[in-house]
Amino acid sequence: MPSVLITIHDVAPPLMPKVERLWAICAERGVKPGLLVVPDWHGGSPIEGDPACVAWVRARAAEGAEIFLHGERHDEVGSPRSWRDEVRALGRTNKEGEFLTLGYDAARARIDRGLSRLRALGLAPVGFVPPAWLAKDDTHRAVRDAGLAVSEDDARIHAFRARRTISSPVIRWSARGAFRAYGSLLQARMRWTLQRGASVVRIALHPADLDHPATAASIERTLDLWLTVYPAQGYASL
């Protein structure tokens, strides 16, 4: 059955008011989005230090939201890019590709640390999504070896338990400046034309999408559009 998978990225203490707003936008439409949690946003906001944030995430998980690990700190501090990494990240992120440069061992170590922190909070992560979807194959192998069911980049979902790789370009916005904001509006509309009929559609919401009124409005329009034709499902449906 065709389905739309909806997630909220960047669930971390400093971004909570916007995360909660995005959750409300989904809840108004009867959707429980997946939550991509960052244990230590930019290396300065350990989630354990914000009991209200932890309680909120736990409560959403208890309601049925799927939990994903989304990097350890999200940014690239301490991981210098090679020129190849620069090319892969071109125009994609403002140094928010924590896993972009990492090989297997480094990726696995961060994933293992992140998973133990989330589990220590009583959460049960089902998958991993690299920040900005930027990672080498090493990271996806590390996710599989860590025993998680899912990992993804911006074009594909790796469903390890089902042994499937599903092609599914993600619908997302960028509110970084008016040019990008309006560009992402066009892109969201284009996806409607191009991907209607696809079996799995992904919609990724970011707290920063609410920074520009045009992207904020486009999120609501786009959700309404897709939800008229596709049921919202969890990644477990894969």
- How many positions of this chain bind Zn ion (CB under 5 A)? 3
* 130 makes contact with Zn ion (CB under 5 A): no
With CB under 5 A as the contact rule, which of the stretches 10-18, 49-57, 108-116, 187-195 interacts with Zn ion? Answer: 10-18
Nearer to Zn ion, 166 or 205 (CB): 205
Total Cβ atoms within 10 A of residue 63: 10
Question: Which listed range, 1-9, 87-95, 156-164, 170-178, lies at the site for Zn ion (CB under 5 A)?
Answer: 1-9
Is the CA virtual torsion 142, 143, 147, 151 positive or negative?
negative
Q: DSSP for 143-172, please give it.
A: HHHTT-SEEE-SSEEEETTTTEEEE-PEE-
* Residue 140, CA distances (Å) to 89, 103, 151, 191 in order: 17, 10, 6, 26
Query: Minimum distance from CB of 230 to Zn ion (Å)?
Result: 24
- Give whole-number Cα distances, 231 to 3, 23, 30, 225, in Å: 5, 17, 10, 11
Specify the residue, 99 or 160, whose C-beta has the smaller distance to Zn ion. Answer: 99
Least distance between Zn ion and beta carbon 10 (Å): 4
- Interface stretch with Zn ion, choices 15-23, 26-34, 130-138, 170-178 (CB under 5 A): 130-138
Q: Which is nearer to Zn ion, 9 or 212 (CB)?
A: 9
Query: Of 131, 173, 210, 216, which one interacts with Zn ion (CB under 5 A)?
Result: 131
Q: Does 212 bind Zn ion (CB under 5 A)?
A: no
The residue from 3, 5, 9, 67 that contacts Zn ion (CB under 5 A) is 9
Phi, psi of 168 (to 5 degrees): -160, 85
8 A C-beta contact, residue 191 and residue 169: yes
Which parts of this chain interact with Zn ion (CB under 5 A)? Answer: 9-10, 131
